[in-house]
Amino acid sequence: MTLLAVHPYVKIQRDVSSFKQIQREDMREIRLYTDRIETKYHTFAIQDVLDISYHAIGHKSGLLYLHTIRGIYSYHVYQTPQTFIDSFKAHRKNL
């Protein structure tokens, strides 16, 4: 189906040993299509996504929340996802 919007998110992995903590960041994308939303490991049918919201954490990052029929999924973002959210809401309005 047609790609409507893309937004970057980051998967933060922390490895802790007895001497130090290592933090790794894996840059990924969340993609909005006409029939689904996809992340690296999840695919949500568009009718299963009830809402999308965003909560800023400080000035540099925030959490993008997908509210689905299977629960809430959070994604760490460094840029405001307002365009992605607006695209989703406009598309849902037309369904």
Q: The pTM is what?
A: 0.89
Mean residue pLDDT across the chain: 94
Mean pLDDT of 19-38: 93
Tell me the domains of the chain and their CATH numbers: 3-93 (2.30.29.30)
Tens digits of residue pLDDT in 55-67: 999 888 999 999 9
Residue 18 predicted with pLDDT over 80: no
The strand ranges marked E within 1-95 are 3-16, 21-33, 36-38, 43-45, 49-57, 61-68, 71-77
